[in-house]
Amino acid sequence: MSTQHSSLKNRRIKLAAVLAAALLGTAGFAGAATAARPAAAQPDLHCKLAFSLTGWSAIYKHADGHGTVTCANGARLPVHIRVRGGGLTAGRWRINDGKGTFTDVFRISEVLGSYAQAAANAGVVKSGTAQVLSKGTVSLALAGTGQGINLGISGAKFTISRAGPHTAK
C-alpha cells in the first residue's frame, strides 16, 4: 500500500508541475505576444487637430467647421467638424486657428466620431475656449481663440467626420 501511495503522490506532484509549467508558459506567451506587437499598433500616435469653427447658439448650440488631423507617423486626414447640442448659452462666435491634441489613438481613423463635451465659457469681443472631450478611450483636448459674444454653460456633441466633396470648407 505504501508503494501505491508513493506512486499516487508522485503522479500528483508531476501533474502539479505540468499544470504550473503550462500556466507559466501561457503567461509567458501572452507577455511575448504583447512585447512582439509592432510599434505602429501602440497607442498614442501623437495626433493633432488644426481647425476653424463658426457657430451660434440661442439655447441650442450649432457650429460647423473644418480642419486637418495630422499624426507623428505622417498620416494626414482632412475633416469636417459639427457641433450640436443644448444648454444655457447665447451668442455668435468664430474660432480661427484652433488646436487639438488626441490621446490613446492606435490608427488615425479612430479620431473620427462623436465626442462628449462639457464646457464653461464667457467672453465679449475676444472669446476663448478650453475643453476636453472624450469618445471611449480616445480623448481630445481643444484650445482656440476667436471673436464673438458667448455667455453660459453648454453641453454639446462634437463630431469629427472625413471631409468629403460635399463638405463645406
Q: What is the mean pLDDT of residues 133-151?
A: 78
Q: Is the dihedral of CA 43, 47, 65, 109 positive or negative?
A: negative
Residue 75 burial (CB count, 10 A): 15
Q: How far is CA 26 from CA 20, 32, 155, 162, in A?
A: 10, 10, 46, 41
**pLDDT (0 to 100) of residue 158:** 87
How confident is the prediction for the chain on average, in pLDDT?
Answer: 71
What are 21-68's pLDDT values in tens digits?
Answer: 333 343 343 343 334 334 555 668 999 999 998 888 777 778 899 999
State pTM to two decimals. 0.64
**pLDDT (0 to 100) of residue 20:** 37
117 burial (CB, 10 Å; 0-12 / 13-18 / 19+) is buried
Instruction: Identify the three-state secondary structure at position 24.
Output: helix
Q: Where are the beta strands (DSSP E) in the chain?
A: 48-70, 76-103, 113-135, 138-162
Q: Which residues make Cβ contacts (< 8 Å) with residue 56, sequence separation at least 6?
A: 62, 63, 91, 92, 93
Of residues 83 and 72, more confidently modeled:
72
Decide if pLDDT at 72 tops 90: yes
